[in-house]
Structure 1
Amino acid sequence: MFSLSKSVSRLKSLSKNRKSGDDVSGDPPLKKKAKKAKKSPKQDVGSIDPKTGLAKRGVVMISDFPIGFYEKQMSEYFSQFGKVLRIRISKNKKTGKRRNYGFVEFEFEEVAKIAAQTMDNYLMFDHIVKCKFISSDELKEKPNLLKRWNKEFVTSTQIHKSLHNKNKSIEREFKLTRNRLKKVHEMESKLKESGIEYKCQVIDLPDITSLRNARKVTQKET
């Protein structure tokens, strides 16, 4: 049976919720969990570091995430659960290409647990994201999980390239030139044994005689 008084009271409560900024339509499950995690969590004895007396930080390992969901995007996305302190995505040492796993550190351990539980097996752009909470005991065994998280990544290719292109000493230049000429002579001798008479022409190679003389001068000065 229709009740006018109940309808009026219902409308008043809805208008009051709208004025206070509450969502009257209801939050999705993910937003509810994120709001719950974002509140200051109650710290139990096990979540406090006995050495510092501060709350333990929580780390989540995330894998199988879609391309483009990297440090900046992760920071913005996981901030709905709580304060994100550090993010590091593993990269290939040779090419610098991101591998498909990384680590997200939260301010509180409880927040990390809720984030890992909520986002595990979460479908994102045809990728089923995997999340795993890493306990403080596991972090002690692997202290380098978040090492150099804010440093510019330098690949091994870039390191070798800079070493190759840097200014070389006369001694170093002499040894490199001598080794290159040695390889050329070895190749010529192998061709000669096969019945092929061919003289290799080396391009952009410093004069070995001038390098030898300069080397002698530097050795006398030292």
Structure 2
Amino acid sequence: MGVKAKKALKKKLKKTNSSQLSISRSRNESSDFLPLEGGPGMKITQEEDEPIKNTATVLYIGHIPHGFYEEQMEGFFKQFGKIKRLRIARNRKTGKSKHYGFLEFENPEVAKVVADEIHNYLLFEHNLQIHLILPERVHPKLWRGVNWRYKPLNWTEIARKQHNKDRTVEEQQQMIQGIQKRDKKRRNRIKAAGIDYECPDLVGLIQPAAKKIKFDEEEEE
């Protein structure tokens, strides 16, 4: 190989080396340091962000047994911490418990401990289901009626008013027709059962016709 050929080969090697260095530098621009053993650049791993602090204070409580109501629940859970609000879902008509409710503590740490330790707690043959509810998942109407207490309805008084209410002539006739229809079905069932029994006639079915009162015409002046 001649002198000229050697010089040309050295120039090519310098060019390739410089191009490789520029490529490696561009690749390692985002890296924090280059390892001594060679190879691609490496980036310093940043410390992970601090875990998000628990701010949930509301608990969902499911599988609530019969007899474990507001007073009993408050007496049981207040041993862990101060209770802010408590509500058990109830039927609006009957006032019976729907066997689930919601409880809010003032301290989120207390709520976390209760959710971890009391979940699946056996109480009156029921395993309590307790879960934390994140603040963004709390419905704005969750605590609606939190102080509502069921007042039992006096169904006897309601039935008395319904029976004794004033009726028009058409309503009275409809009521009598319904009574006659039910009485006919009862007689047919007795007859189909092979029982020889004559049911007494219903009293008050025949209503006297309304009398028309005629007033004397006023004397013309």
In our comparison, the structure showing a higher alpha carbon Rg is: 2
TM-score, normalised with respect to structure 1? 0.50
Larger RCO of the pair (alpha carbons < 8 Å, separation 6+): 1
TM-score norm. by structure 2 comes to 0.50
